[in-house]
Amino acid sequence: MPRPFRFGVNLMDQADGSSWRAKCRRAEELGYDVILVPDHLGMPAPFPALVAAAEVTERPRLGTFVLNTGFWNPTLLAREIAGTDALAGGRLEIGLGAGYVREEHERAGLEFPSPGARVRHLRRTVEELDRLLGDEEHLPRTVQRPRPPLLIGGNGDRVLDLAAERAETVAFSGGRETKEGIKAHTADALEERVAAFRARAARHGTDPELNLLLQLVAVTDDRAAEAGALGPLAPDLTEDELLALPILALGTVPEICGQLRARRERFGFSYFTVLEPHLEAFAPVVRELSGE
C-alpha cells in the first residue's frame, strides 16, 4: 500500500505579524498538511515564525525546511526545538540539512567547511538531538516523545545514509550542486538517488517517508511555455526531457494529479512541498488528492 499524500508549503517571504498569521491561516484553509519555514538569511526566523503559525492554526503540522545545521550549536538547537514543540502543542517537525550556501556563512562570519565536514556536523547534530531530547531530565521537554519527527534533506550518499538510519522523512531537492550552481535531476538521475537511499534503508531496517520539493507549479494548458522558465537549471535537456523533470508540476489540475500519482508509483514520493509563490495555484491539487 502506498503512503497517503501529504502536502507542505514553504513560507519564505518576511511579513509583519498580522500578514504572517493571515497567510498561515490561508494555508490551513487551503488544506495544506504542513506549514514550513526555511533557514536562510533574509527570510523569516524559523522558530518565532512557527510559534506564530501555531497560534492561529489548529490542524497543520509545523516544520523547518530545512535548518542549516552549520548555523546551530546542537545543545542550543535542542532548547529551541523543545520550546517550540511545547508552544506548538506537539505539532513540530524538525527538518535538518548540511547547508550549501557559502555566501550566507560568510555574511554570518562563519567558516564554510568542506562537504564532508558539513555532513559530519549534521550527523553530530542529529546524534546530539536524539541524546538530549530523549533524556527525561532535559529541560525544556518536547511534547512529542522522545523527540519530534525528523526530516533530513539532501541527495549525497553520506546524507542519505544518515537519513536512512535516523530520520522519519528524507527530502530530495531534485537537484545537485555543481560549479555553475544547482542543476535539476532528470527522472532517471533522481530514480538512481532514490534507489541508493532505499538500499541504505534496507540495511538499517527502516522505511522513511519520501519528500520531494516541487520547484515550479503552474496550472496551464501550455506546459512547454511554463517549463521554459527552468531551462537554466537543465540547459542540456530537450523539451521533452525538461517536461519530464520530477521537480515540475505543470498542466491542468487533472494532469498534475496524474503526475504526482505517477511519482508516488515510480519513486515512492508521497509528501510534496511547494514554495510560497505557488500556495494558491497548487491548492486545487491538494483538495483533489487529500486523503488519497
Query: pLDDT tens across 193-230, in order?
Result: 999 999 999 999 999 999 999 999 999 999 988 877 76
Kindly state whether residue 253 falls inside one of the protein's structural domains.
yes
Is the model's pLDDT at 231 over the cut of 70? no
The per-residue pLDDT of the chain, averaged, comes to 94
Q: pLDDT-based confidence at 180, cuts 50/70/90?
A: low
Is the model's pLDDT at 133 over the cut of 60? yes
Q: Provide the residue range defining the domain that includes 285.
A: 6-289
Closest C-alpha among 227, 216, 206, 194 to residue 273: 216
Q: What is the pLDDT of residue 177?
A: 62
Kindly state whether residue 155 falls inside one of the protein's structural domains.
yes
Kindly state whether residue 151 falls inside one of the protein's structural domains.
yes
Distance, in Å, from the CA atom of 250 to the CA atom of 275, rounded to the nearest integer, reads 14
pLDDT in tens, 19-48: 999 999 999 999 999 999 999 999 999 999
Is the model's pLDDT at 7 over the cut of 70? yes
At 256, which CATH number? Answer: 3.20.20.30
Is the model's pLDDT at 179 over the cut of 60? no
Angle (CA) 283-288-292 rounded to 5° is: 125
Q: What is the residue type of 286?
A: V
Q: What is the pLDDT of residue 178?
A: 59
Q: pLDDT-based confidence at 54, cuts 50/70/90?
A: very high
Q: pLDDT-based confidence at 248, cuts 50/70/90?
A: very high
Q: Which region among 14-18, 66-70, 97-101, 232-236 has the lowest average model confidence (pLDDT)?
A: 232-236
Q: What is the pLDDT of residue 184?
A: 79
Query: Average pLDDT for residues 70-78, to the nearest whole number?
Result: 98
Q: What is the residue type of 133?
A: L
The percent of residues above 70 in pLDDT, for the chain, comes to 95
Q: pLDDT-based confidence at 131, cuts 50/70/90?
A: very high
Is the model's pLDDT at 143 over the cut of 60? yes
Angle (CA) 71-125-102 rounded to 5° is: 30
First to last CA, the chain: 11
Neighbours of 186 (CB within 10 A): 18
Q: What is the pLDDT of residue 242?
A: 86
User: Residue with C-alpha cell 555574511?
Assistant: 107
Q: What is the pLDDT of residue 226?
A: 82
Which grid coordinates are listed for 38? 526555511
Q: Which region among 86-90, 161-165, 224-228 has the lowest average model confidence (pLDDT)?
A: 224-228
Q: 156 — alpha (psi -120 to 50), left (phi > 0) or beta?
A: beta
Distance, in Å, from the CA atom of 101 to the CA atom of 71, rounded to the nearest integer, reads 11
Kindly state whether residue 1 falls inside one of the protein's structural domains.
no
Asked if 123 and 162 count as a contact pair (C-beta separation under 8 A), the reply is: yes
DSSP string, the chain: -PPPPEEEEE--S---HHHHHHHHHHHHHTT-SEEEE---TTS--HHHHHHHHHHH-SSSEEEES-EEGGG--HHHHHHHHHHHHHHTTS-EEEEEE----HHHHHHTT-----HHHHHHHHHHHHHHHHHHHT-TT-SSPPSSSS---EEEE--SHHHHHHHHHH-SEEEE-SEEEETTEEEEPPHHHHHHHHHHHHHHHHHHT---EEEEEESEEEE-S-HHHHHGGGGGGSTT--HHHHHT-TTEEEESHHHHHHHHHHHHHHT-EEEEEEEGGGHHHHHHHHHHHTT-
Kindly state whether residue 30 falls inside one of the protein's structural domains.
yes
Which grid coordinates are listed for 75? 545543545
Q: What is the pLDDT of residue 235?
A: 73
Provide the domain count of the chain: 1
Kindly state whether residue 169 falls inside one of the protein's structural domains.
yes
Kindly state whether residue 28 falls inside one of the protein's structural domains.
yes
Is the model's pLDDT at 185 over the cut of 80? yes
